[in-house]
Amino acid sequence: MNRQERVVHPIEEESFRRLRARVDTSHLAPLTRAVVERVVHSAADVAYVTDVVCDEATLATAHGALHEGAPVVADVEMVAAGITRRTAVCRLKEAVPGPGLTRSAHAVRLAYEQVGPGAIWVIGCAPTALEELLLLDAAPALVIGLPVGFVGAVESKAALRGSGLPSVSNISEKGGSAVAAAALNALLYHPYDPPHHQLAKENA
């Protein structure tokens, strides 16, 4: 995987400075803070600080899986386009709706057939995509479930949290492609020390 240090543009640096001047995130654990801040930054909405639901231990496991090569799946092309440094699988173009099955739900089925268990799923548009994923025995490394909308979004995200799957979600109707991609990018950008590097340090 690409371990090259990311160069942060001065505009982004200033954006995060202003964000932290508006709301205190210093109490959050490192990965949680990274995810929450990047979601806030992507939407210019500080209310996400109390709206996002995630767990540091879950994020740490997913962070390792991501940097060790776990496949990434996006529900729509806009989510895939927002993810940097990695190519995300998105099967929406090939998907077709059917009785009781939306196009987004069918795309999830197609993607799971392609990637199998252990993937990181990034859902930022369709609640039905998240609902379909919960019906599969997908054994994901992480589900970033941040679909947006007044119909089904809150319920699908509550079902995700209730499923026990490792997840990032939010409580309200808010969400969308930009915030879902931002949550994944936070994990991509956060420094990663591979286990074999850590062992080498300890044994040095």
Active site residues: 41
49 in Cβ contact with 36 (< 8 Å): yes
Place of tokens 């994990």: 187
Burial code (b: 16+ CB inside 10 Å, e: under 16) for 171-187 equals eeebbbbbbbbbbbbbb
The CB-side HSE value for 1 (13 A sphere, CA atoms) comes to 21
**Spatial strand order in the sheet of 142-145:** 52-53, 167-170, 142-145, 120-123, 72-74
